């Protein structure tokens, strides 16, 4: 029988070896997770137990060659509950321990995205097609480091192997649905702006319509963005199809929408600190915001198994 300290800082068990091996396959336990046998008093990394090494994918010398200890996950947080402050704190620790890898991965992603954006028409189409797989690859890089697994900047492109079509469709469909849901606001704003241009001196009614339409669009974009925030990570990590991933993300987020929204606001504030360094510094702070979102993902979807974990 074994006991385990989970990513949420809580102790689980006692459980038998087959159950612990299942947790390893599901990504809930990694080589550096603290484990002890029921009869022992001392905690050790999972890689120190010979019987767990096959499930961990480690060789006989794993105890001495295990990857570095991952940054601690948010502690004191019940599973399934998002705490913005704890996620950002854990993200900062992760970034400190993996600065080079996470910074370079985000830099590559940003350069590709910007390069595609400046190419007329063709770049826009390519950006629409590639944003989903590239973003999924960035999420995968961060998840691997959060889970204490070896991962390099090449993981940014892993979305091209892990469900390219589903990642592409997830990004395109969510973008189109946000646009469609915003149409009522656009129908207020566009005619009002057009009339204002014709009259040169906008009438009060036109101003009211622009304000109301703008507020409607803002509310729709924010609400749906928060609801579908974890759709791409679910496609990438759990190998789900895009529509079930969108549905599951919305269901889990809906129960604590304001908590997830608060996390995004706090992450945006942290990222915006990079603007103080002539704007370029945003590349230094963007990984913190991304890591914070991935820690929230781990809290919300730890109980969702990938197909390979149950095969």
pLDDT, tens only, 114-132? 998 888 888 889 999 999 9
Give the best-scoring range by mean pLDDT among 7-16, 112-121, 130-139: 130-139
- The whole-number pLDDT of residue 229 equals 97
Residue 62 in this model has a pLDDT that exceeds 80: no
Question: Mean pLDDT throughout 287-291?
Answer: 94
The Cα–Cα gap between 107 and 113 comes to 10
Say if residue 309's pLDDT is above 50. Answer: no
Per-residue confidence (pLDDT) for residue 48, from 0 to 100: 84
Let me know: does 195 contact 169? Beta carbons within 8 Å. no
In this model, does residue 237 exceed pLDDT 60? yes
Write down all domains in the chain, each with its CATH number in brackets. Answer: 1-45 (3.30.1490.40), 84-170+227-310 (no CATH)
Contact (CB, 8 A) for 52 and 35: yes
pLDDT digits (tens, 9 = 90+) for 215-236: 999 999 999 999 999 999 999 9
Distance, in Å, from the CA atom of 145 to the CA atom of 248, rounded to the nearest integer, reads 24
pLDDT for res 24:
84
Please give the C-alpha separations between residue 263 and each of 103, 139, 240, 245, 273, in angstroms, as whole numbers: 21, 16, 24, 20, 16
Average pLDDT over every residue of 195-210? 73
Sign (positive or negative) of CA dihedral 179, 184, 187, 190: negative
Rg over CA atoms, the chain: 22
Least confident of 17-26, 124-133, 134-143, 158-167: 17-26
Given this model, what pLDDT does residue 236 score?
A: 95
Task: Tell which residue, 6, 48, 47, 1, has the closest CA to residue 28.
Answer: 6
Structure tokens at 6: 């989970």
pLDDT level of residue 308 (50, 70, 90 thresholds): very low
Q: pLDDT confidence of 63, banded at 50, 70, 90?
A: very low
- Alpha-carbon span 292 to 281, nearest angstrom: 18
Q: What is the dihedral of CA 236, 159, 256, 310, to 10 degrees?
A: 10
Give the H or E element holding residue 154.
none
Q: Do strands 11-15 and 34-37 pair parallel, antiparallel, or not at all (unpaired)?
A: unpaired
Judge whether 229 and 249 are in contact, CB under 8 Å.
yes
Residue, of 29 and 140, whose pLDDT is higher: 140
């Amino acid at each position: 029988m074994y006991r385990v300290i989970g990513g949420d800082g809580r102790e689980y068990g006692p459980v038998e070896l087959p159950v612990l091996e299942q947790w390893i396959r599901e990504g809930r336990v990694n080589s550096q997770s603290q484990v002890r046998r029921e009869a022992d008093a001392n905690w050790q990394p999972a890689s120190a137990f010979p019987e767990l090494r096959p499930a961990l994918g480690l060789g006989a010398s794993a105890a001495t060659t295990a990857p570095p200890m991952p940054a601690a996950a948010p502690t004191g947080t019940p599973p399934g509950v998002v705490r913005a402050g704890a996620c950002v704190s854990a993200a900062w620790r992760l970034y400190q321990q993996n600065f080079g890898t996470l910074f370079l991965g985000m830099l590559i992603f940003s350069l590709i995205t910007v390069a595609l954006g400046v190419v007329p028409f063709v770049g826009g189409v390519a950006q629409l097609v590639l944003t989903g797989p590239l973003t999924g690859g960035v999420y995968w890089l961060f998840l691997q480091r959060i889970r204490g697994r070896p991962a390099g900047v090449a993981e940014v492109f892993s979305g091209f192997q892990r469900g390219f079509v589903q990642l592409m469709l997830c990004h395109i469909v969510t973008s189109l649905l946000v646009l469609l849901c915003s149409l009522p606001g656009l129908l207020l704003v566009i005619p009002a702006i057009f009339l204002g241009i014709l009259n040169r001196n906008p009438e009060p009614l036109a101003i009211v319509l622009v304000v109301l339409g703008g507020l409607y669009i803002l509310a729709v974009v924010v609400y749906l963005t928060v609801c579908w925030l974890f759709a791409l990570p679910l496609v990438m990590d759990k190998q789900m199809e895009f529509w079930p991933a969108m549905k599951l993300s919305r269901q889990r987020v809906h129960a604590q929408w304001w908590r997830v929204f608060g996390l995004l606001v706090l992450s945006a504030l942290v990222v915006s600190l990079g603007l103080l360094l002539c704007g370029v510094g945003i590349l230094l702070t963007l990984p913190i915001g991304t890591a914070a979102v991935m820690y929230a993902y781990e809290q919300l979807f730890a109980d969702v198994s990938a197909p390979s974990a149950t095969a």
